[in-house]
Amino acid sequence: MIQIINRIKFLRYGMVLFIFCPCYLYAQEINTKALFSIPEETVQKETAQKAVISTTNPDATTTDNRQNKTTVNIPSGMDTSSMIWLIQKALYDTTGIILFNEEELPPADMPDSVYIRRLAAMPSIISLPYNDIVRNYIVYYMQKHPRHSAKMLGLAEYYLPVFEEILDAYNIPLEMKVLPIIESALNPVAVSRVGATGMWQFILTTGRRYGLTVNTYVDERRDPIASTYAAAKYLTALYAMFEDWTLALAAYNCGEGNVLKAITRAGGKQDYWEIYPYLPKETRNYVPLFIAANYAITYYKEHRLIPEPVDVPVRADTFMINSKLHFEQIANTINIPISQLRKLNPQYKRDIIPGNERPYELRIPSEYTDDFIENERKIYGHNEAKYFNPNIVVNPTTAPKSNKSATSRSSDVSGSQTITHQVKSGESLGIIAGKYNVKLNDLYSWNNLTAASTIYPGQKLMIYGKSAAPKQTENKNVNPSTDNKYHIVEKGDSFWSITQKYNVGLDSLLEINNMTKNSKLLPGKKILLP
């Protein structure tokens, strides 16, 4: 018991790790020297094997020497800060049981030459050298914690194809897709102790620099798709700075400034392994972790690992939301589990989509798409007063005399009065209805709108008094796109066909609708034209 206590000491801080459902876990300081040191007899055995290989296969000797040139001045064990960092990423199972219950890593289940040959066979622009640190991380993934690796592989099967498509669009080596594995264990709501958030672990300033929205309701660092686009832009900028993907990797982890300092201290050398001793401790093991993660997702079958299925909807459709919407309004109306909405939309911190600010994406499982379309108006109107009480209009009979600004904003419409309202920037249909003391549904009907309609600055809306209001008759032939402000999506439409039809630019079309090339075009959806 004393030995166990001496080996495991609780640190002063805790961490929260979410694998979709929150689990409260605690980082611990481990005796990493005992954990990651390789037994002497294993080292001797490997040395003997290398000697045999060098005698029987001269080419193999050349390969081994070339790959192992990086072992100079590199410790075989991982330092304490690296170990704590790795623990923070995912070293516990979902029950919170500590997995470190053995004193040493098991010996590698195959000779170094096999790892070297496999790494050399991987199609990678980025150099994937082999050394003791890389081997230790491979053993960690493949042998030490197979249960954790199986979960990681299951998540990888779900997310990595999405990452590959975006990285490929930016001409970034596809090997970079494993970065979220070592950054966050593919946890979209992971938060580090310094506030880095999401799968790609962006700090606030860097996330905003690359176009991610972060406010009270939304944190797009937690959006797997939006954050991957930001990461692609960031990696492109880092490569343009260092012209070396390995240095770009190091800079992604510790920042451009620290890599530039390491280069200066190394006498201007611009090779990761040459500047290795001058990098922060955490970053020294970042590239070995990157190599081991690429090995793991490529050769897990050879180690008899089976990916664990993930509890996330495989197919989803995307809707653009233009008004405030609460997840419970959706869940209560079409009986979709709110947990699925949270898994598919982790960027909404309070279960609220602030679509009145600008259009935001909502992803729902494909099996609920038809129900959402058919009940769209009902969803927006469900308990609207309960979830959103803007308190914009003050009753003039009860408002304090000093509150003139609030009273002046109220514009009651009565009798036969008819008003044309010109939409201002920042206004929503709910705000306009409140301003004139009219029902939101009446405003929809008078202007042939729906709850999902997009309004834009300068658009004119008709507001009627009671006696002047037109009779509400259905007019299914009214086409909002006749003024070329909108396009109603038809079956078979694509972004390309729309741009050709209206002679508009694709980037402008996507930007004005807050969409990406991967957004789905559903028949009946209205697309705002530039």
Orientation angle between helical segments 40-56 and 112-121, nearest 10 degrees = 60
Give the DSSP H or E segment for 207.
Answer: helix 204-209
In single-letter form, the type of residue at position 411 comes to: S
How far is the C-alpha of 242 from the C-alpha of 265, rounded, in Å? 16
**Length of the chain, please?**
530
Within 8 A by CB and 6+ apart from 276, the residues are 73, 74, 284
Report the C-alpha dihedral over residues 349, 354, 359, 362, rounded to 10 degrees.
50
| Tens of pLDDT, residues 364-397 | 999 999 999 999 989 998 888 788 865 555 556 5
Give the SS3 label for residue 23: strand
CATH no. of 404-478? 3.10.350.10
Catalytic residue numbers?
Answer: 183
Q: Give the residues across from 21 on adjacent strands.
A: 19
Give me the pLDDT at residue 383, please.
85
Give the SS3 label for residue 410: coil
For tokens 């070396």, name the residue. 244
Give the DSSP H or E segment for 17.
Answer: strand 15-19
Measured in degrees and rounded to the nearest 5, phi and psi for residue 317 equal -115, 155
Give me the pLDDT at residue 529, please.
81
Beta strands in 307-445 (DSSP E): 316-321, 324-326, 352-354, 360-365, 418-422
Integer Rg of the chain from CA: 29
Fold of 2-303: Lysozyme (1.10.530)
CATH 3.10.350.10 in the chain: give the residue spans.
Answer: 404-478, 481-528
CATH 1.10.530.10 in the chain: give the residue spans.
Answer: 2-303
How far is the C-alpha of 229 from the C-alpha of 212, rounded, in Å? 9
Orientation angle between helical segments 132-139 and 286-299, nearest 10 degrees = 50
Angstrom CA distances, 200 to 217, 232, 235, 293, stand at 20, 10, 11, 15
CATH no. of 481-528? 3.10.350.10
Give me the pLDDT at residue 452, please.
64
Q: In sequence order, which ranges of 272-394 are alpha helices (DSSP H)?
A: 272-275, 281-284, 286-299, 327-334, 338-344, 369-374, 376-381, 384-387
Give the side-chain half-sphere CA count within 13 A for 74.
23
Within 8 A by CB and 6+ apart from 393, the residues are 406, 409, 410, 434, 435, 437
Q: Which residues of the chain have pLDDT under 50?
A: 1-103, 398-410, 467-468, 471-484
Give me the pLDDT at residue 222, please.
96
